[in-house]
């Protein structure tokens, strides 16, 4: 064949392979055998090897890719990957629905129902139709780059399917309006999972070969995707199901997004339904609960989302969860076991937490040896004694907890659980603070507190390799006392510890030195201030912008912060009022830690908020966002009367109409450029 003929054959093969991939993964139709499809793939591979200049990024041969990575790079999500509120009963679901009705001022709401796949959530970004990046959820704001690994999953399209005239006609006939042009940037979110049949076969082969087996499909999916070597990911039969489409081209409802995902080439879960009433929702929930064991994948509940996109967006977000979305979870996995002992552990604030040591038992596919008891009040509520048989519950991948004591099975040797009068670590007296349930160690210098504080800081700084035992040995050897001391460690310090060689010592020191620069909100988390989590740290960082301003703030400065309650503001003020804590910060800085100021920059758009809808001709959505942020403005994903500008491109969605009704100033692309001075 001549090169033009080869090129033509390659294009035909790619189109045919992609067509059959779409038929199999999206339409559930197997039009040719696996062997025939493999034959086509092999022919394509041979031709591309002969003509490597004809290889493209979206070719089916590029799924198994690349050399092993040294580490995962980070990817910042353009829009945070938020979590969902969980409910566990019809009454709780009904209460959520009632709140949504009240807040949205609607008489009724259609709900789009889908099953909640139990796998690993990922984000896929396509630019000009080609898969550009794939990332894990991470902390919701920043995930790990798994692009090479995602490309090995056959159910994930390497390029978006072009919408045909037939697609457009069917869409218009069903939804009574036309689709806009697919924008240059499309983000799709979904779940990577390990099908049960494939999982069981894989484990069977691993066991036969005397190799490690996975505990459950969820762990298998997560472990397979987070492989630095993509060929390992490729060797495992993972699948993918899309559940969210972030691309503004005229989609008005979640049901329409579901249809568009299929048209673009993505598999969506067939277990979905548009519910017109709560009776429909309950019917869907009961049906999926009854058939969960018959499905070829794990599900742990149903997801309910307000179908109307404008209503959903108008409800906004509270904390880290959208108001228009919930997960109605199935009854948690349960098991019975015997409590053999109760141990008390000291946390970074000094609070003592009881943990039940239980007879090892399997629950939800995992063998567990410990269970949460929360505090002494919970032990008394349960009426728990050592030796009791208990019902153990594992819900939402949290540490199992003791739900109920089967007192009818209690033996004569059952022993009461004693409230510790002294700290199990240092022997100091325990105290109970006013208004708190937990008891605490009274010793400010308790080594267990130090140990927990340092581990907490190491996690906030994201220092690889600084684990539990290493911190313990460093404390016992007197090499460190505080988390700040970690940053003055040297290779000779580590060589004093058993088990450390020259190479491993240098590697850990390099890991520590690489993390000496930290963002302000992360540093506030690292300080371990009581009641301050990632959300409150973010509010403090955005409000004060520099560490110095926070250190010098007065009590009233914290009280007036929106989203920071009285208890939290008091805790923050008291932390910075203590000379010991100010000294700790000084030690961090002395040891080379650099705390970056809040990233937002002042500029001509300072305090102004922008919303974008539709496709812009001369700039991508992400670049437009960056222009706003560089000039001190803010980006909003939801429309409200508090938005200053709505930038409207081609094929805008319902946001444009709502912006007009709310009196928000509408800008076209040229007017936007004029404001930002580009």
Range of the domain at 667: 609-676
Task: Verify that 181 and 195 share a domain, yes or no.
Answer: yes
Cα 382 to the center of its chain, rounded Å? 33
Whether residues 325 and 404 share a domain: the answer is: no
Query: How far is the C-alpha of 90 from the C-alpha of 330, rounded, in Å?
Result: 11
pLDDT tens for residues 1-18? 788 888 988 998 888 888
**Least confident window among 70-74, 211-215, 526-530, 635-639:** 635-639
Structurally, how many domains does the chain consist of?
Answer: 5
Q: Could you tell me if residue 421 is inside a domain?
A: no
pLDDT in tens, 183-224: 999 999 999 999 999 999 998 898 888 888 887 888 889 889
Nearest CA among 531, 526, 521, 528 for reference residue 571:
531
Say if residue 339 is in the same domain as residue 320. no
Does a structural domain hold residue 422? no
Mean pLDDT of 635-648: 81
Residue whose entry in the numeric block shows the structure tokens 């403005």? 633
Tell whether 69 is covered by a domain.
Answer: no
Which of 296-300, 391-395, 514-518, 667-671 holds the top average pLDDT?
514-518
Residues 360, 295 share a domain: no
For this structure, is 116 an active site residue? yes
pLDDT tier for residue 26 given thresholds of 50, 70 and 90: low
463 & 517 share domain = yes
Radius of gyration over every alpha carbon of the chain, rounded to an integer in angstroms? 28
129: left (phi over 0), alpha (psi -120 to 50) or beta: left
Task: Report yes or no on 418 lying in a domain.
Answer: no
Percent of the chain with pLDDT over 70: 94
Instruction: Specify the pLDDT at position 397.
Output: 47
In this predicted structure, the answer to whether residue 497 has a pLDDT above a threshold of 70 is yes
Helices (H) and strands (E) in the chain, counts: 25, 28
Mean pLDDT for 544-557 is 91
Residue 25 has a pLDDT of 58
Residue 494 maps to which CATH number?
Answer: 1.10.150.20
Q: What is the 3-state secondary structure (H, E, C) of 207-252?
A: HHCCCCCCCCHHHHHHHHHCCCCHHHHHCCCCEEEEEEEECCCCCC
Q: Give the count of beta carbons closer than 10 Å to the beta carbon of residue 412.
A: 5
- What integer pLDDT is reported at residue 214 of this predicted model? 84
pLDDT of residue 398: 60
Work out the burial of residue 178: count CB atoms within 10 Å of its CB; fewer than 13 is exposed, 13-18 middle, 19 or more buried.
exposed
Model confidence pLDDT, tens digit, residues 83-135: 888 887 899 899 999 999 999 999 999 999 999 998 999 999 999 999 999 99
- Are 320 and 340 part of one and the same domain? no
- Do 39 and 96 reside in the same domain of the chain? no
On whether both 276 and 384 belong to a single domain, the answer is: no
- Domain CATH for 321: 3.30.470.30
Residue 440 predicted with pLDDT over 60? yes
Residue 427 lies in a domain: no
- Can you give the three-state secondary structure of 425-491, one letter per residue? CCCCEEEECCCCCCEEECCCCCHHHHHHHHHHHHHHHCCCCCCHHHHHHHHHCCCCCCHHHHHHCCH
The one catalytic residue among 3, 7, 116, 273: 116
Using CA atoms, how far apart are residues 183 and 178, in angstroms rounded to an integer?
15
């Amino acid at each position: 064949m001549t090169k033009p003929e080869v090129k033509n054959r390659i294009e035909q093969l790619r189109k045919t392979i992609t067509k059959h991939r779409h038929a199999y993964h999206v339409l559930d139709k197997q039009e040719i055998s696996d062997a025939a499809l493999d034959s086509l793939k092999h022919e394509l591979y041979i031709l591309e090897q002969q003509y490597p200049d004809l290889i493209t990024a979206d070719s089916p041969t590029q799924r198994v890719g690349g050399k092993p990575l040294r580490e995962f790079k980070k990817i910042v999500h353009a829009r945070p990957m938020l979590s969902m509120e969980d409910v566990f009963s019809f009454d709780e679901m009904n209460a959520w629905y009632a709140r949504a009705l009240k807040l949205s001022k609607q008489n009724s709401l259609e709900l789009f129902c889908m099953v909640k796949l139990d796998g690993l959530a990922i984000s896929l970004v396509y630019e000009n139709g080609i898969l550009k990046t794939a990332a894990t959820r991470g902390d919701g704001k920043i995930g790990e780059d798994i692009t090479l690994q995602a490309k090995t999953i056959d159910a994930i399209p390497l390029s978006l399917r072009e919408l045909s005239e037939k697609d457009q006609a069917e869409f218009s006939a069903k939804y009574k309006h036309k689709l806009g042009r697919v924008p240059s940037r499309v983000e799709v979110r979904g779940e990577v999972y390990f099908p049960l049949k494939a999982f069981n076969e894989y484990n069977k082969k691993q066991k036969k070969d005397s190799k490690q087996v996975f505990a459950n499909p969820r762990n298998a999916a997560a472990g397979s995707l987070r492989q630095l070597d993509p060929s390992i990911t490729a060797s495992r039969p993972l699948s993918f199901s899309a559940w969210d489409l972030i691309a503004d081209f005229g989609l008005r409802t979640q049901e329409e997004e579901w249809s568009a995902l299929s048209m673009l080439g993505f598999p969506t879960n067939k277990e979905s339904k548009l519910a017109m009433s709560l009776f429909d929702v309950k019917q869907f929930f009961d049906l999926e609960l009854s058939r969960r064991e018959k499905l070829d994948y794990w599900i742990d509940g149903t997801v309910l989302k307000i179908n109307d996109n404008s209503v959903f967006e108008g409800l906004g977000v509270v904390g880290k969860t959208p108001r228009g979305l919930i997960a109605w979870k199935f009854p948690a996995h349960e098991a019975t076991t015997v409590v053999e002992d109760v141990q008390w552990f000291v946390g970074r604030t000094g609070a003592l937490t009881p943990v039940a040591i239980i007879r090892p038992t399997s629950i939800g596919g995992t063998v567990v040896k410990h269970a949460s008891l929360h505090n002494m009040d919970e032990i008394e509520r349960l009426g728990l004694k050592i030796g009791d048989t208990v019902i153990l519950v594992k819900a939402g991948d949290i540490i199992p907890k003791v739900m109920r004591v089967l007192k009818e099975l209690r033996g004569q040797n059952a022993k009461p659980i004693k409230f510790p009068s002294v700290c199990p670590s240092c022997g100091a007296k325990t105290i109970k603070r006013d208004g708190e349930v937990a008891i605490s160690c009274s010793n400010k210098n308790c080594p267990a507190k130090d140990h927990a504080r340092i581990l907490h800081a190491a996690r906030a700084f994201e220092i690889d390799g600084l684990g539990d035992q290493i911190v313990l040995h460093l404390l016992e050897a007197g090499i460190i006392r505080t988390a700040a001391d970690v940053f003055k460690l040297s290779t000779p310090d580590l060589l004093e510890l058993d088990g450390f060689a020259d190479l491993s010592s240098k590697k850990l020191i390099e890991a520590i030195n690489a993390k000496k620069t930290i963002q302000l909100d992360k540093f506030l988390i690292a300080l371990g201030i009581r009641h301050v989590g990632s959300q409150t740290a973010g509010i403090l960082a955005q409000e004060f912008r520099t560490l110095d301003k926070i250190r010098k703030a007065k009590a009233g400065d914290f009280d007036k912060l929106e989203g920071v309650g009285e208890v939290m503001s008091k805790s923050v003020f008291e932390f910075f009022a203590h000379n010991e804590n100010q000294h700790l910060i000084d030690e961090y800085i002395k040891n080379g830690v650099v705390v970056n100021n809040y990233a937002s920059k002042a500029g001509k758009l300072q305090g102004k908020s922008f919303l974008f809808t539709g496709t812009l001709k001369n700039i991508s959505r992400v670049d437009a966002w960056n222009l706003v942020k560089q000039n001190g403005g803010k980006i909003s994903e939801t429309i409200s009367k508090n938005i200053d500008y709505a930038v409207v491109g081609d094929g805008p969605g319902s946001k444009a109409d709502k912006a007009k009704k709310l009196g928000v100033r509408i800008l076209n692309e040229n007017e936007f450029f004029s404001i930002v001075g580009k």
